[in-house]
Amino acid sequence: MKDNDFESMTKLEFVSARQMIAICLSIEIVVQIFALMVQPTAWWTWQLLGFIAATNLGAVVLAIFAQRSADKIGAVYRRVFTSDFYETVTAMSDIRKSMVLEAEKDNSDFDPDTIAPEVYQAVRDYFETKQLHEKTPTPDVEVPYISPEEVSFINDDELFIADA
């Protein structure tokens, strides 16, 4: 996804109650204009009653389907979007903000496409080194104990080898 896709996702707009009322009133006006222009007959009355019954029944059936879909979405939402999910997203967002701020301090451009491979490589190298360290046996060497009294007799020349 591109940045503008994320931006558009955060600004989704749904039909408001005011817009629904305007749509319903518009439909009512069109139907009433049609009804006033046509000479009422028994056939037109039956057609209008059939239309009204069909639209009302259709609205009820569609509302039931919509509610069933909303219930399924709600169940998935509760299972996926837990407090742990939101805490993780917040932590990742905070890390990204910190990286952007550091890039601004360095007068460099924060580009996730170039940073991601470098971060991946660093993490991979860390784990490879860690595994190597864990596999390497520790030598079984006896380290002699030097008492504080013996240390006082050691001079700097014995401690530090001067570069020749």
Helix (H) or strand (E) holding 95: helix 83-105
Domain that holds residue 67: 41-80
pTM: 0.42
Residue 46 belongs to some domain of the structure:
yes
Angle at 7 between CA 83 and CA 71, to 5 degrees: 45
Residue 66 belongs to some domain of the structure:
yes
- How many domains, in total, are found in the chain? 1
Residue 11 belongs to some domain of the structure:
no
Residue 35 belongs to some domain of the structure:
no
Residue 52 belongs to some domain of the structure:
yes
Residue 65 belongs to some domain of the structure:
yes
Q: How confident is the model over 45-100, as pLDDT tens digits? A: 898 899 889 999 999 999 999 999 989 988 888 888 889 999 999 999 998 899 88
Q: How confident is the model over 124-136, as pLDDT tens digits? A: 999 999 998 888 8
**Cα-only R_g, the chain:** 37
